[in-house]
Amino acid sequence: MSTSTRDRMIVGAADLLRRKGMTATSMREVVRHSNTPRGSIAHHFPGGKRQLLEAAIEHAGREVSEPLALLLAKHGPVKGMQHFVGLWRATLEETNFEAGCAVLAVAVEHYASDQRSESEGELEAQIQSQLLDQANGIFIEWQEIVAHSLRDAGLPSARSRSLALLAIASIEGSVALCRAARSAEPLDLIWTELKHSFEQALL
């Protein structure tokens, strides 16, 4: 029961991150969104919002890295990425283009505590730096998963890394464009270009 409550809070926080961003992901909102007891916050996350965000970002990273690695291992870099882009398309459409990337939300927003005071400015800056480091590590992990697949398909290491960076940056950017346009068209167009780049590199 205890683990279930904690997990629900983490999943709820990750969902709020991808829908509303880091600033709106307050402890109060997480409790409401995850339908968990308010008293469970201090028990499961004695470090407060910072600790919960760290757990939510880790969860969000795995939500991408695990299916990405499985799809690429099963289908190879081109077909695997095509299936992965399809998952993103489905997520966008199923959430009416409300849900983006929780990790990207952390990368583009400033951290603020739920009860901010002037004296907490320095601490907030330190937490912001740590959260950015965590997000960067996840982005690098995703790139390495794609690069590994490209290397296995015969592409040189340097070219694999650059194409992997292009893929992750393009998909992340196109997801944001899809949310703004309330349409999957940007993701579809980006995938057409990425597929061409992958196929040309692997000739």
Task: State how far the alpha carbon of 124 is from the alpha carbons of 58, 112, 119, 155, 193, in Å.
Answer: 19, 6, 10, 42, 40
Q: What is the pLDDT of residues 40-68, one digit of tens each?
A: 777 888 888 889 999 999 999 999 999 99
In this structure, CATH architecture of domain 49-201: Orthogonal Bundle (1.10)
Least Cα distance to 88 among 58, 63, 57 occurs for 63
Q: Domain coordinates of the chain in residue numbers?
A: 49-201
- In three-state secondary structure terms, 154 is coil
- With vertex at residue 188, the alpha carbon angle to CA 104 and CA 183, rounded to the nearest 5 degrees, is 70
Please give the pLDDT value at position 115.
61
Q: What is the pLDDT of residues 103-138, one digit of tens each?
A: 999 999 888 776 655 556 677 888 889 999 999 999
pTM exceeds cut of 0.85:
yes
More confident residue, 122 or 25: 25
Backbone phi and psi for residue 117, each to the nearest 5 degrees, phi listed first: -135, 165
